[in-house]
Structure 1
């Protein structure tokens, strides 16, 4: 009986739509008067994890996306600096970043200054560049799952141009932020 060769899992990467960095919860965590742990860490030199900050700023919606993605991500090369844990966050001005990326209050303020719009090059150029770098890293067979709204061009137009038919959209997220 011949041995079967185990096929390599092509993997699954998740891209999470960003939190609103200019909303009231963002202002709360960025306040110099805020004394809670996350706000203090954001003001410090080491900052806090991007996923944690966006989960606070966005509330349950981002927390749910992050938990789901962390559970079901299967990066083709775990630990690679581009694909990282398999969970990347779309940022307003820095393209795709691993959810574990450390950010400071200054970074969140910079995010707040940029409109998330496909026609704003401050948003679209970094997103396109990082999506291309990710595409080069993960290869042609890895699924890329967008957890965020597909009702507007701000994510889909840029990402479909890079990932094509590999870009997936869970039905539960259609029409949501």
Structure 2
């Protein structure tokens, strides 16, 4: 099997679930960890903020990553710190900074760190390593920059087309359960990024 790494799109850090952890009086375990000096793992925080979608992406990527030696198999896009691993420690102060950032390539605070880290990752992984984006490809907010860095190595799951976030999350969790990897297609040459809505997923066993 060839080498493969995953880039995950971020959770929304300013939504209703984020307000739960920003509440100074919150006493549930994740909120307390965020307020501690050590912080909480980025993957755990984003899974809480995003729910099923990010949880599915993270479980899927961790199950099927096959990185070259010394290269991280899973990294996550952030609003202002480029790419970070799922175990990267987040404090409440850092999460607030994420919440103030915009996923917009016109914003240098987002674009420059992402471009820097993507180039470092591309050099470390090499041209023969597949780079799979688990995130939206309908707009250019991730793809336009990543495609310039990774070129034909950048791919995405064909079955994402036409699905909403919840459906994608459920699909990936079912794939992990079954040990079945999705088909990946390239983003160059006009690959379809949209499609008809597929049938509803069957309930998980």
Q: What is the TM-score when the length of structure 2 is the normalising length?
A: 0.77
- Aligned to 1:45, which of 20, 37, 42? 37
Verify: 1:149 aligned to 2:141, yes or no.
Answer: no
**Whole-angstrom distance in 2 between the partners of 1:174 and 1:104:** 34
**Whole-angstrom distance in 1 between the partners of 2:119 and 2:101:** 21
**Whole-angstrom distance in 2 between the partners of 1:173 and 1:59:** 17
Tell me, which stretches of 5 or more residues in structure 2 are unaligned? 166-205
Tell me, which stretches of 5 or more residues in structure 1 are unaligned? 1-8
Paired residues, what number?
Answer: 164
Paired position in structure 2 for 1:18:
10
Paired position in structure 2 for 1:67:
59
Paired position in structure 2 for 1:132:
119
> Which deviations, in whole Å up to 9, do the C-alpha atoms of 1:103-150 show, x marking residues without a partner?
111111001111101111110110000000001111111100000000
Paired position in structure 2 for 1:33:
25
Where 2:32 maps in the other structure, the secondary structure is helix
Paired position in structure 1 for 2:146:
159
**Whole-angstrom distance in 1 between the partners of 2:149 and 2:37:** 34
Deviation at 1:172, TM superposition (A): 2.6
**Whole-angstrom distance in 2 between the partners of 1:143 and 1:20:** 26
Where 2:7 maps in the other structure, the secondary structure is strand
Deviation at 1:30, TM superposition (A): 2.0
4+ aligned runs moved over 6 Å, structure 1:
none
Deviation at 1:10, TM superposition (A): 4.3
Task: State whether residues 149 and 174 of structure 1, in contact with CA within 8 Å, keep that contact through their aligned partners in structure 2.
Answer: no
Paired position in structure 2 for 1:115:
102
In the TM superposition, 1:101-112 aligns within 5 A as 101-112=88-99
Deviation at 1:68, TM superposition (A): 0.4
**Whole-angstrom distance in 1 between the partners of 2:8 and 2:115:** 15
Task: State whether residues 148 and 174 of structure 1, in contact with CA within 8 Å, keep that contact through their aligned partners in structure 2.
Answer: no
